[in-house]
């Protein structure tokens, strides 16, 4: 992983309602290249570990339940300034506050069921990519 890579997840709300293609098209239009992709149904233990930083938040249990409610699609993406650019492209956590044209404005249902995850730092991008992918998967 370099500073030009980030980790995204098309969340179960968007994946299960058939939005993966539209979201990937938008990401590619924004200049991201797909380096690695998976489709998986997270176990409770995996979701709890991935979101461990939010363990004390009131929405943690609900978030874990949502993230294990169906399949999701983690991807490693590459472009310059990947982390900052993807955060801009996905929009604010709450779709009601997300800018026009962002993934969450276009596809999110609510602040929790908000279509997509994106790493918020290079350090977390590295850690989160490792969570889903082996070095050889990313290349």
Binding site for ligand GDP (CB under 6 A): 54, 59, 62-63, 93, 111-112, 114, 117, 120
Contact assessment for residue 30 and residue 85, using Cβ atoms and an 8 Å cutoff = yes
Catalytic residue, from 41, 54, 107, 117: name it: 117
Smallest distance from ligand GDP to CB 139, Å: 26
Smallest distance from ligand GDP to CB 44, Å: 16
- Closer by beta carbon to ligand GDP, 42 or else 63: 63
Smallest distance from ligand GDP to CB 136, Å: 28
The phi and psi torsions of 103 (rounded to 5 degrees) equal -60, -45
Compute and round to an integer the Cα radius of gyration of the chain. Answer: 14
- Closer by beta carbon to ligand GDP, 41 or else 54: 54
- For 1-139, list the strands marked E by DSSP: 5-10, 33-37, 40-41, 71-78, 116-118
Residues 51 and 63: their CA atoms lie apart, in Å, by 8
- Closer by beta carbon to ligand GDP, 76 or else 95: 95
- Closer by beta carbon to ligand GDP, 107 or else 117: 117
Helix or strand (DSSP H, E) at 106 = helix 103-107
Q: Annotated catalytic, 107?
A: no
Smallest distance from ligand GDP to CB 28, Å: 21
List alpha helices for 2-77, DSSP H.
12-16, 20-29, 44-50, 60-67
**Residue positions annotated with a catalytic role:** 117
């Amino acid at each position: 992983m370099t500073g030009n890579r980030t980790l995204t997840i098309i969340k179960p709300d968007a994946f299960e309602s058939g939005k993966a293609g539209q979201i990937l098209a938008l990401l590619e239009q924004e200049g991201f290249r797909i380096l690695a992709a998976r489709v998986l149904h997270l176990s409770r233990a995996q979701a709890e570990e991935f979101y461990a930083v939010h363990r004390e938040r009131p929405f943690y249990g609900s978030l874990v339940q949502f993230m294990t409610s169906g399949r999701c699609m983690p991807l490693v993406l590459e472009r310059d300034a990947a982390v900052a650019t993807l955060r801009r492209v996905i929009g604010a956590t709450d779709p009601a506050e997300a800018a026009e044209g962002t993934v969450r404005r276009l596809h999110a249902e609510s602040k929790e069921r908000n279509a997509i995850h994106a790493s918020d730092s290079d350090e977390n991008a590295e850690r989160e990519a490792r969570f889903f992918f082996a070095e050889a998967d990313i290349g």
